[in-house]
Each structure stands twice: as structure tokens, then as C-alpha cells.
């Protein structure tokens, strides 16, 4: 591709973030209320608990060609439903290995904890993840098939 | 299912969204999305005009789904759901898209990308809306008791108010005495009375109230549950006490900043206003001739930009008192701006001036300087209004420092899952429209833990929080959002995975009684116990459990919409 270089410098990743209603989504709201500025590449889907997100949905999202997927929930011990995020954490380990097995960079999936009071942390996580995924480059998994 | 006819309402929110996101462009884009029958922009979708526009459009365009793209579902979802219900549409056929907190407010420098993002968010919302189903809500009982945390004026006022309405109140106070900050003060503006007089009457009413159960000294150790049904455990003098309440009011007050400025803590004759009040109260101040007070010490600076609101009046109060004690004394107040809002505050200020207190304005770029080695001997200040430098003799320097949040406010915020905002103060659900409620249902906030407030404001907020909290208590029932789990017994294989992960033991394996499936072991959700977390839905290997409002199909359709797949 002749304009390969340009494509690379202009690469804007498409990142999906599942946020639990009680902590991460509230933290994202607080980031907004506080007017913390951040990269525009992340789109949030609200779920009630981080533990609502089945691994197959993450795989589907990455297989569809999204460049990154995050699950953001309450800090361990603070899940609104007591244990949902423990489940999420356990699944995340398996999921990462599964991703690398099927040939998707496991770092395209990120798990994080953001409390309702951590607007600044939400902004930081968005920035960090965007940087990480941008560094990984476009998700080529679809092409490889 | 009838063919979806989706209406999309995109809010400008004044300039909050419209100033950054190109709303007309998003509207045009929405019109091009599948199943969208109507799309429009509103100046404020949540205003009366916006709401009636939704209701009108539902009828006019025969809509059977509504999507609003505006602020956050955590504050505004009930309003829009009600609008749908009013127009005869099941409120669960509504979907929220957040393009303010999650878009315009966080991308203010990038209008083009913010607009593109808003379009995608709308696309995802519309994709989910297509798969929404009508739902019926369940009602759950409200346990008719309240917990108030903090026994200052705000908390006591709230507790008394609820108790006088006949509700049982658990009042949790950390210290061994009720009264809070007022116990430490010498006299109160603008009535110049001993705070004891005020506090004692309230404390007596609280302590003697048959409906108020006092936990003191005690702190909350754990809180779980939701509106109507909180389980609380407090550590009461080393003993654990547990109880149930339906609502919670947070009124934990604030602490006073001890500054590292103007050689506080180093020179003996430098005090904060609070130290001064303590000494006056204990009759330990001693002689003074030349008093200098400095305002905004550690307030309205980059690291702490807010105005603490009560310190100006405190300085005026104490400056006048110094004149009263020793009319010969010279008393100066060095200020940046004077917060004397309200009729009698301004009058109080004039009286202090009349009594001989001198007010000198300084600017933060040219702050006063403390002169002296063993103790303060004088204060040098550039008088902004006169345009010259003065050296004021000084044997007592008093610093007005702001109220700051308590050290444990973050811990409490995590325990109750309520947010703290600027400066560590608790953050109400909406700065203008919902001043004493948290976004989390059933939890309210009052007094100086919310923002620096004087006594009158703290009491008023205590009453306000109590009256809000009394609504669910009085109704006795709260509607539980219809986001509980359902099982399709035809698909269920009876493996029990869902029951295993449910944190609330809401799932049981049972022999089916459904015709055609008699005797088959299937999972069954007890809706009264289900809290709608969706863990079971994510865990079921067969897709037999679905969480209402967050079904596999709904989530998948959002993912597909974002990745450009159908
Ligand atoms: C120097 C100074 C002078 C002032 N002078 C005046 C004046 O003249 N007139 C006036 O109107 N206002 C004055 N104020 C302001 C006044 O003190 C406040 O308006 C008032 O105290 C606010 O009441 P509150 O109930 O919100 O908080 P507080 O009075 O601070 O009470 C909070 C209570 O909660 C308790 N608590 C805290 N954390 C916990 C916890 N985790 N668990 C359980 N309990 C907890 C505390 O022990 C305390 O009893 C002054 C303030 C200062 C600092
Ligand atoms: S009340 Fe007065 S002294 Fe206190 S921060 Fe505001 S302006 Fe400064
Ligand atoms: S996990 Fe699924 S298949 Fe297994 S019992 Fe529960 S609903 Fe049935
Ligand atoms: S949604 Fe949560 S509480 Fe309800 S049955 Fe499923 S796991 Fe249990
Ligand atoms: S509710 Fe936030 S992770 Fe469970």
C-alpha cells in the first residue's frame, strides 16, 4: 500500500468499553462532570455489573475488527453485587489466553477498576488504553483469516 | 413483534452538547439508521417542551421505541421513561445514549471527532432499541427506618425531622458527643450567641426522642443493599451492631484546614480562626493590642480553588469581637474578596466596620508577609485599593482557613457507592436540580460534607434531605427496575451454572410444571430476590438465561453496530 505510512500515523483505534452501572459508568460520568479531557476513541456500553459481559461477546467484538475492548468495573471487594467483578477477573485470565491462542493480541482486551469517585482515573484509563491500542496498530485478525 | 419504529431525540443541552457536537448533523445521521421513523433535535430534551415533544412524536409518528441522546441515564432515565409511559408507550421501550458526560464534555477541543463519536453512540443506541421489549416492574417493600451518619446540626436536624414524622432513625456519630463543629465554636454570626444554646436544645430533642436510636461513639463498618433495603453494620465502641434501613442520609461535616502558610505552627501567636474561637471559649486568649486577620489562607488557590463560604463571616465576627473585648485594640482584616452574601451578612459587615475594624484588600500575587523571629511582630501588606504598602504592628495573627473534606470521606464514598467531587466533598445527583440526593437511589446528603455551608444552610439541607428521604419511607414500596433475569425453560439444560454464580441465591433448579416440559429439571429465577446483576446471563453456557434490558441480542447488536456489522 502506497500510503501505508500515512495510514499508520493517522490510525485512530476503535475501542469499546463495557462499564458497570455502579462504579465505572458513574466514574465516567464524573469525568464528564469534571470536564476531564481525553481521547475520543472509546465508546461505552453500560451494563449493570462487569460480570454481565460474557467472554464470547469480547471475542465477537475483536473478531468483528474492533481494535480494543475494555471491561471496567468496581474495585475488587466493591462490586455492587458483591462478587461480580471476581467472576470478571477470573474470566479475564482465561480470555487473555484464549485470545492469544486464536491469534488476537491479548492486550487488545483490558480489564480495569474505576470507582464512582474516580473520574480522573477513568480519564487516565481511557488515555492509557488508547495509547496502548494505538501502539498495537489496527486489529488485523479479520485479515488473517 | 411489530416492525420497530424508532424515534430519536438529540439534545443540545443548551451549549453543553450543542456547543461542541454538531447536533443537526447527528439528527440527519440518525434519520438514515435502520428502523428510525423520526429524529429531531431539542434545545433541552428534559424541559417541559422537550418532554411534550417526545410525547407528541410518539403519537404523530406512531413510534414504538424511543431513543434520547443527551446526558446520563443515572440521573435522567426515569424522566424519559415516564414521558414514554405518559404517551402510552411501555417505559422499557426506551434507550438512553450519553453524549454529554461521555462525549461533549470530555472532547471540548475536538468538535469533529466528538460529532463522529456522538453519531456512533446514537447508532449503537438505535441498534439496541430495535431489540427492546416491553417490561413490567416489580414492587419491593421499603424498610421503614433511616440511618443518618453524623450528629452535627445537619444530621441532627435530618434525624429529628424524620423521627417527628414517625420513622425510626439510627443516628451514627463518631465522637462521644452530639453537636459537631458547633461544640468547638465560641459564638455564632450573625446572632452573636453562644452556640451551646443552639446545640443544647437540638441535642436534648434528639437524645430524648423515642424514635431515635443513637449509636455513639460509632462508625459505619459496612453497608450493602439498595433503596428500601440496606443492611448496615456499625462498630459501636468496639461492639458490632447490625440493623436494616430503607434510606441513608450522609451528614458527616468537614474539617478545618491547618495551613502551612504564614508560619502557622512555628510562631506561637499565629492561630487559625478555629484556634481563636477555642481560646476565647476556654478564656485562654490573654492580652492583645494589634490583631491582624488574613482571609482565604489556603483557599481560592490553584490546588484548592473553591471559596469556603463561611470563613469571611467568621473573620468579620471575630474581628468585631476583638474590638468588643478590647476597644483600644487595632484590628485589621486582610481579605481578597468578602463573601457577605445575604441581607444581614452585609449589615453585619457594616457594623464591624462601624466598630472600627479595618478591612484591607490584598491580591494573591502580592500576599501579606509575616515579620518577626520569635513571634509575629508585624505584617507587611500591599493595600490594593490605596495602592501602597503598609506595615501593620501585630501581636496576634489569625488565619481564616477553609473547610476541607474529612479524611474518611473517601472510605465512606466507597462503602456507600456515592461519588465525591471537587475538593473531596460529596457530589449530589445534580448540582441544580437535585441538591440533596445522590445519584444512587435512597441515599441523601446534607450540610458541610456536601460543600462548605453555614449553620442555617446546614439545617435547611438536613430538612431537605429528610423530606426527600421520607418519600420512599412513606410510600412503603419502591418499584424495582425490570432488569431481572428470566430463563427459557425450553433451552435450559438444568446444569445449574447460573445458580452457582448468583450472589443472591435467587435461582433454584426445579422440576418444570410447564406443559410439555413436565418433570424436566430447569432453572427458575425468584424475581423478588433477583437484583438484576446479569451474572447468570453471562455464565449460562446455553444462552437460556437473559437479563431483561441487557439481553445477549441487545448487547451484541450494539457491538455489531459499532464494528459496522449488522
Ligand atoms: C472556625 C469556624 C467558625 C464558624 N462559625 C460559624 C458561625 O459563626 N455561624 C455559622 O452559621 N456557621 C459557622 N461555621 C460553620 C459551621 O460550623 C457549619 O455550618 C456547621 O458545623 C455544619 O454542620 P454539619 O452538621 O454539616 O457538620 P459538623 O458540624 O462538622 O458535624 C458533622 C458531624 O459528623 C460526625 N462525623 C464525621 N464523620 C463521621 C463518620 N464517618 N461517622 C459518624 N459520624 C461522623 C462528626 O463527628 C460531627 O459530629 C463556622 C465554621 C468554622 C470552621
Ligand atoms: S469565605 Fe472568604 S475567606 Fe473563605 S475562602 Fe471564601 S472569600 Fe476566602
Ligand atoms: S446455566 Fe443455563 S442451562 Fe444451566 S441451569 Fe442455568 S439456565 Fe439452565
Ligand atoms: S441477575 Fe444476578 S441476582 Fe438475578 S438471578 Fe441472575 S445472578 Fe442472580
Ligand atoms: S457492579 Fe461494578 S463490577 Fe459489579
Longest dimension (CA), chain B: 99
- Across B373-390, average pLDDT: 94
Which residue on chain B is closest to A36 by alpha carbon?
A: B106
Only one residue has cell 484590628, namely B331
- Separation between Cα atoms, residue B273 and residue B270, nearest integer Å: 10
- Across B214-241, average pLDDT: 94
- What confidence score (pLDDT) does residue B440 get? 77
Quick one: which H or E segment has residue B121? helix B111-129
Closest to A53 (Cα-Cα) out of A75, A76, A29, A69: A69
B window 206-225, beta carbon within 8 A of A: 224
Distance in Å, alpha carbon of B529 to nearest chain A alpha carbon: 12
What percent of chain B has a predicted confidence (pLDDT) above 70? 100
**What does the block give as the cell for B287?**
492580652
What's the pLDDT band for B395 if we cut at 50, 70, 90? very high
- Separation between Cα atoms, residue B375 and residue A121, nearest integer Å: 44
Query: Does the pLDDT at position B422 exceed 80?
Result: no
Distance in Å, alpha carbon of A52 to nearest chain B alpha carbon: 5
Q: How many CA atoms lie within 13 A of B321 on its CB side?
A: 23
- Across B437-462, average pLDDT: 94
pLDDT in tens, B244-297: 999 999 999 999 999 999 999 999 999 999 999 999 999 999 999 999 999 999
Residues B452 and B309 sit within 8 Å (Cβ to Cβ):
yes
- Across B198-213, average pLDDT: 96
- What confidence score (pLDDT) does residue A143 get? 56
B112 in contact with A, Cβ within 8 Å: no
- Across B23-48, average pLDDT: 98
Residues B119 and B27 sit within 8 Å (Cβ to Cβ):
no
pLDDT in tens, B473-523: 999 998 888 999 999 999 999 999 999 999 888 899 999 988 889 889 999
pLDDT in tens, B95-151: 999 999 999 999 999 999 999 999 999 999 999 999 999 999 988 899 999 999 999
Residue nearest to atom 17 of ligand 1 (CA): B181
3-state SS, B182-236, equals HHHCCCECCCCECHHHHHHHHHHHHHCCCCEEEECCEEEEEEEEECCEEEEEEEE
A114 in contact with B, Cβ within 8 Å: no
- Across B359-388, average pLDDT: 95
- Separation between Cα atoms, residue B511 and residue B517, nearest integer Å: 9
Query: Beta strands B6-11 and B65-70: pairing type?
Result: parallel
- Across B384-404, average pLDDT: 96
Query: Does the pLDDT at position B56 exceed 80?
Result: yes
- What confidence score (pLDDT) does residue B1 get? 65
Q: How many CA atoms lie within 13 A of B204 on its CB side?
A: 6
**What does the block give as the cell for B516?**
410439555
Among A43, A48, A78, select the one facing B121 at the smallest CB separation: A43
- What confidence score (pLDDT) does residue A9 get? 58
Query: Beta strands B212-215 and B218-226: pairing type?
Result: unpaired
Helix (H/G/I), strand (E/B), else coil: B16 = coil
- Separation between Cα atoms, residue B198 and residue B464, nearest integer Å: 20
Mean pLDDT across chain B: 95
- Separation between Cα atoms, residue B130 and residue B127, nearest integer Å: 6
3-state helix, strand, coil in chain A (%, to 5): 50, 15, 35
Put simply, whether the predicted model's pTM sits higher than 0.90 gets the answer no
Pocket of ligand 3, candidates B499, B509, B521, B545: which has the most ligand atoms within 8 Å of its Cβ, to mutate? Answer: B545
- What confidence score (pLDDT) does residue B320 get? 97
Only one residue has cell 435502520, namely B34
First-residue to last-residue Cα distance in chain B? 19
- What confidence score (pLDDT) does residue B417 get? 78
Amino acid at each position: 500500500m502506497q500510503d501505508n505510512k500515512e495510514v499508520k500515523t493517522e490510525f485512530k483505534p476503535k475501542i469499546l468499553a463495557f462499564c458497570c452501572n455502579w462504579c465505572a459508568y458513574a466514574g465516567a460520568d464524573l469525568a464528564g462532570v469534571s470536564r476531564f479531557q481525553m481521547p475520543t476513541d472509546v465508546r461505552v456500553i453500560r451494563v449493570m455489573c462487569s460480570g454481565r459481559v460474557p467472554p464470547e461477546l469480547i471475542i465477537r467484538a475483536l473478531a468483528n475488527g474492533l481494535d480494543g475492548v475494555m471491561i471496567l468495573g468496581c474495585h475488587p471487594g466493591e462490586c455492587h453485587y458483591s462478587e461480580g467483578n471476581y467472576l470478571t477477573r477470573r474470566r479475564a485470565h482465561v480470555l487473555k489466553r484464549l485470545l492469544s491462542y486464536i491469534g488476537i493480541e491479548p492486550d487488545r482486551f483490558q480489564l480495569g477498576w474505576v470507582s464512582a469517585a474516580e473520574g480522573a482515573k477513568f480519564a487516565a484509563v481511557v488515555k492509557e488504553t488508547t495509547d496502548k491500542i494505538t501502539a498495537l496498530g489496527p486489529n488485523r485478525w479479520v485479515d488473517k483469516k | 413483534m411489530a416492525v420497530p419504529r424508532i424515534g430519536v431525540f438529540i439534545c443540545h443541552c443548551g451549549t453543553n452538547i450543542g456547543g461542541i457536537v454538531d447536533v443537526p448533523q447527528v439528527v440527519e445521521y440518525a434519520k438514515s439508521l435502520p428502523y428510525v421513523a423520526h429524529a429531531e433535535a431539542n434545545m433541552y430534551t428534559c424541559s417541559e417542551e422537550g418532554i411534550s415533544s417526545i410525547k407528541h412524536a410518539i403519537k404523530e409518528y406512531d413510534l414504538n421505541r424511543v431513543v434520547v441522546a443527551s446526558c446520563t441515564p443515572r440521573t435522567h432515565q426515569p424522566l424519559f421513561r415516564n414521558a414514554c409511559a405518559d404517551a402510552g408507550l411501555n417505559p422499557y421501550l426506551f434507550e438512553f445514549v450519553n453524549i454529554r458526560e461521555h462525549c461533549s464534555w470530555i472532547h471540548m477541543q475536538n468538535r469533529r471527532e466528538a460529532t463522529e463519536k456522538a453519531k456512533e453512540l446514537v447508532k449503537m443506541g438505535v441498534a439496541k432499541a430495535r431489540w427492546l421489549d416491553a417490561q413490567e416492574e416489580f414492587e419491593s417493600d421499603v424498610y421503614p427506618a433511616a440511618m443518618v451518619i453524623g450528629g452535627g446540626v445537619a444530621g441532627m436536624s435530618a434525624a429529628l425531622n424524620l423521627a417527628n414524622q414517625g420513622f425510626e432513625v439510627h443516628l451514627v456519630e463518631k465522637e462521644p458527643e452530639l453537636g459537631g463543629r458547633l461544640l468547638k465554636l465560641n459564638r455564632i454570626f450573625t446572632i452573636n450567641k453562644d452556640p451551646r444554646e443552639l446545640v443544647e436544645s437540638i441535642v436534648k430533642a434528639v437524645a430524648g426522642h423515642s424514635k431515635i436510636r443513637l449509636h455513639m461513639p460509632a462508625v459505619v463498618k459496612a453497608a450493602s443493599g439498595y433503596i428500601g433495603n440496606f443492611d448496615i453494620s456499625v462498630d459501636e465502641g468496639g461492639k458490632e451492631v447490625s440493623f436494616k434501613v430503607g434510606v441513608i442520609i450522609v451528614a458527616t461535616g468537614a474539617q478545618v484546614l491547618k495551613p502551612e502558610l504564614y508560619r502557622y505552627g512555628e510562631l506561637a501567636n499565629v492561630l487559625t480562626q478555629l484556634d481563636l474561637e477555642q481560646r476565647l471559649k476556654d478564656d485562654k486568649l490573654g492580652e492583645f493590642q494589634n490583631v491582624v486577620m488574613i482571609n482565604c489562607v489556603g483557599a481560592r488557590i490553584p490546588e484548592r480553588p473553591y471559596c469556603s463560604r463561611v470563613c469571611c463571616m467568621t473573620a468579620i465576627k471575630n474581628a468585631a469581637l476583638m474590638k468588643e473585648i478590647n476597644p483600644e485594640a487595632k484590628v485589621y482584616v486582610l481579605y481578597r474578596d468578602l463573601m457577605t452574601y445575604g441581607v444581614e451578612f452585609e449589615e453585619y459587615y457594616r457594623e464591624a466596620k462601624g466598630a472600627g475594624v479595618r478591612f484591607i484588600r490584598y491580591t494573591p500575587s502580592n500576599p501579606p508577609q509575616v515579620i518577626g523571629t520569635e513571634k509575629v511582630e508585624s505584617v507587611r501588606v500591599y493595600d490594593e485599593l490605596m495602592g501602597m504598602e503598609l506595615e501593620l504592628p501585630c501581636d496576634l495573627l489569625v488565619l481564616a482557613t477553609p473547610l476541607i473534606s474529612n479524611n474518611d470521606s473517601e472510605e465512606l464514598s466507597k462503602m456507600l457507592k456515592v461519588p465525591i467531587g471537587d475538593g473531596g466533598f460529596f457530589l449530589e445527583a445534580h448540582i441544580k436540580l437535585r441538591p440533596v440526593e445522590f445519584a444512587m437511589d435512597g441515599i441523601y446528603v446534607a450540610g458541610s460534607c456536601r460543600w462548605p455551608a453555614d449553620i442555617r444552610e446546614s439545617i435547611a439541607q438536613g430538612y431537605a434531605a429528610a423530606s426527600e428521604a421520607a418519600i420512599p419511607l412513606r410510600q412503603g414500596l419502591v418499584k424495582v427496575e425490570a432488569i431481572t433475569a428470566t430463563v427459557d425453560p425450553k433451552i435450559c439444560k438444568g446444569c445449574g451454572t447460573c445458580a452457582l454464580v448468583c450472589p443472591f441465591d435467587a435461582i433454584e433448579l426445579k422440576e418444570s410444571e410447564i406443559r410439555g416440559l413436565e418433570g424436566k429439571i430447569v432453572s427458575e429465577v425468584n424475581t423478588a430476590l433477583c437484583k438484576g446483576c446479569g451474572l447468570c446471563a453471562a455464565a449460562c453456557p446455553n444462552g437460556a438465561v437473559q437479563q431483561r434490558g441487557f439481553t445477549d441480542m441487545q448487547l451484541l447488536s450494539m457491538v455489531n453496530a459499532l464494528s459496522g456489522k449488522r
